[in-house]
Structure 1
Amino acid sequence: MYHTWMRYFTPRPVHHRLGLVCLGVGLQHGTLPTVGPRTLDHHVAVVISAGSGWFRGPDGRRATVTAPALIWLTPGVPHHYGPDPACGWDESFVDFTGPATLTYTELGYIEPDRALVPLSDAGGARAVVGRIARAARRGNPLLEVETAAAVHELLVALRRARADTSAEGDPVLTALARDAFRPLSVAEHAARHGMSPAELRTAVRRGAGCSPKDYLLGIRLGRAKELLAATELPVAAVARRVGYEDPAYFSRLFTRRVGIAPIRFRDQQGRAVPGGWSNQIPDPEHPPTITT
């Protein structure tokens, strides 16, 4: 015996320009029928929150699925899977497509080469699927946009729930972020973690979808923007605080990546945020508490 509920949608071309669209959602549990062998033309995230079963990909090998787990079904890739007939499983799925899938794949949120992904917890993903299911009520005028937004949220929830990422985040990325403002080379960062530069590049690419240099640069520029927008520190002092001893190099780098010079960025923020300058350097780890 099994129970199943599902809805399917056909978003209009204008909705596809959102980057992602939801094509369907389902909630099922019990000794469900076997799926496939089949091949789809879109993506599906299948979240197994309880029970166990099996999965077979294009290589023909049968892998055991133990909850909590994620099964990635990607376009053009044959697959075949099902729950253990003795105990069944609890499954939720979301079908989606759109040009943003290419970017999410490049960033490592969608993993075509790893169809079966162990999760540390399926609760966050299940909550997002539940919101998609509630949005799927008949006559909802916001259906396509609401479900499309939720697909973005689902990909983030699944990335956060991967079993190879701790609750505090990827330890390599956490350590890099902690040391981001030190004037260290990539090789020196790698040595601090007992890794070769190649190993560090692989770890950061897997965790953040970019090179260590780009990951560090994003953190440094983000902090530089905060200091430029909220203090009167000279640009040279801002450069030193984020790890650049040469203010001219910092200004060129900032301008190339942000699109405007640091002083121009400060001018824009000063006009956009009334109330004058703060004499306290903002601490990103301790934002102010808003009370009413």
Structure 2
Amino acid sequence: MYHTWMRFFTPTPAHHRLGLACLGVGLQYGALPTVGPRTLDHHVAVVISAGGGWYLTPDGRRTTVTAPALLWLTPGVPHHYAPDPGAGWDEGFVDFTGPATATYTELGYIEPERPVVALSDASGPRAVIGRMARAARRGNPLLEVETGAAVHELLVALRRARADLAPDGDPVLQGLARDACLPLTVADHAARHGMTPAALRAAVRRGAGCSPKDYLLGIRLGRAKELLAATELPVAAVARRVGYDDPAYFSRLFTRRVGMPPVRFRAQQGRTVPGGWSDQVPDPADPPIIGWAHSTDVG
């Protein structure tokens, strides 16, 4: 005896151009039947939240699957798997495709070479799949866009739930973020962490999906944008604040990556306001209240 619920969709070409298109979503539990051997032309994320089973690799190696776990089914790669015949398992699956899958693979969010991935907790990804299942109600006019957007969210949730990675970055990434605006080379950063530059590159690629140089540059340019938008500091002073002694080099780098010079970015985004710029992350559950209630407090 097993229990299955699933829906499948046929997004239009326009929906595919959004980057990711959801082709189907399902929830199953129990002693489910064996899947495969088969080969698909799209991606599937199978999230196992309870129970266990096995996965057979194309070269014949049998891997034990123990919840919480993720099965990556990737296009053109044969797969063959099943829950334990007795207790079975609890799974949620999402079929998806689109040009953005190549970039998510490059960034390490999709891992074709690791078909079985241990998760620290399946609750986050399962919550996203649950919302996709609710969006799949008959007659939902937002179906394709809503589920397609949720695939992006699912990939982030799966990356955050990987058991071999800390949810918000390992100490190396946190240290790089802390020191990003110091005038240090990649080799300097590696030495501060007691690593070789090659080891640092591997750690950052694994944790952030990019090179240390790009990781540091993203943080520096983000800080530079904040200073340009919220202060009247000269561009040269902004450059020094984010680790560049040569303002001309900073301006060229900013222009190449942002698409406009720093002075033009400031002209578009500048918004110096009374009270200054806050570094504190706002709490959406406790927003400021502006209006009649405040005006009546003055007496």
TM-score (norm 1): 0.94
Distance 1:210 1:70 in 2: 23
**Which whole-Å CA distance do the structure 2 matches of 1:7 and 1:62 have between them?**
30
- Distance in 2, matches of 1:265 and 1:277, equals 17
Match of 2:100 in 1: 100
Match of 1:109 in 2: 109
* Structure 1 residue 280: Cα displacement: 3.2
- Cα distance in structure 2, aligned partners of 1:34 and 1:111: 23
- Listed one character per residue, the Cα deviations across residues 2-61 of structure 1 (whole Å, up to 9, x for unaligned) are 211011111111111111100000100111111011100000000000111111121210
User: Deviations 1:245-282 (Å, cap 9, x if unpaired)?
Assistant: 22121111111111111111101113xx4xx4456354
Identity %: 79
Aligned pairs for 1:1-292 within 5 A: 1-270=1-270, 273=271, 276-277=272-273, 280-283=276-279, 285-287=280-282, 290-292=287-289
- Map Cα deviations across residues 182-227 of structure 1 (whole Å, 9 max, x no partner): 1111111111112111111111112222110011000000010001
CA, structure 1 residues 224+287, in 2 after alignment: closer, same or farther (shift >3 Å)?
Answer: farther
Task: Say which SS state the counterpart of residue 221 (structure 2) adopts.
Answer: helix
> How far apart, in 2, do the equivalents of 1:167 and 1:259 lie?
32
Provide the rounded CA distance (Å) in 1 between the counterparts of 2:277 and 2:249.
23
Larger displacement relative to structure 2 (20-29 or 159-168): 159-168
Deviation string 1:44-96 (CA, Å, 9 cap, x unpaired) is 00000011111112121000111111000000000100111122110000000
Alpha-carbon distance between aligned partners in 1 of 2:278 and 2:237, rounded to the nearest angstrom: 15
Equivalent residues of 1:230, 1:278 under 8 A apart: no
> For 2:74 and 2:274, how far apart are their aligned partners in 1?
50
- Match of 1:124, SS? helix
C-alpha distance in structure 2 between counterparts of 1:279 and 1:43, whole Å: 49
- Partner secondary structure for residue 176 of structure 2: helix
State the secondary structure of the residue aligned to 2:237: helix
Q: Give, in angstroms, the shift of residue 287 of structure 1.
A: 4.3
For the Cα contact (< 8 Å) 1:54–1:82, is it kept in 2?
yes
Q: Which runs of 5+ in 1 are unaligned?
A: none
Aligned residues: 287
> What secondary structure, in the 3-state scheme, does the structure 2 residue paired with 1:155 have?
helix
**Structure 1 Cα separation of the partners of residues 106 and 258 of structure 2:** 22
Query: How far 1:233 sits from its partner (Å)?
Result: 1.2
Secondary structure of the residue aligned to 2:229 is helix
What residue in structure 1 maps to residue 294 of structure 2?
none
SS of equivalent to 1:59: coil
Question: 2:169, 2:207 within 8 Å by CA — same for their partners in 1?
Answer: no
**1:167 deviation in Å?**
3.7
Do the aligned partners of 2:160 and 2:168 also contact (CA within 8 Å) in 1? no
Q: Aligned partner of 2:126: which letter? A: R
Distance in 1 (alpha carbons) for counterparts of 2:281 and 2:209: 27
The one-letter code sitting in structure 2 at the alignment partner of 1:151 is V
Give the match's secondary structure for 2:155. Answer: helix
RMSD: 1.4
Deviations 1:153-194 (A, max 9, x none): 100110111111224423221111111111111111111112
Find the aligned partners of 1:56 and 1:251 in 2 and give their Cα distance.
53
In 2, the alpha carbon distance for the partners of 1:277 and 1:12 equals 45
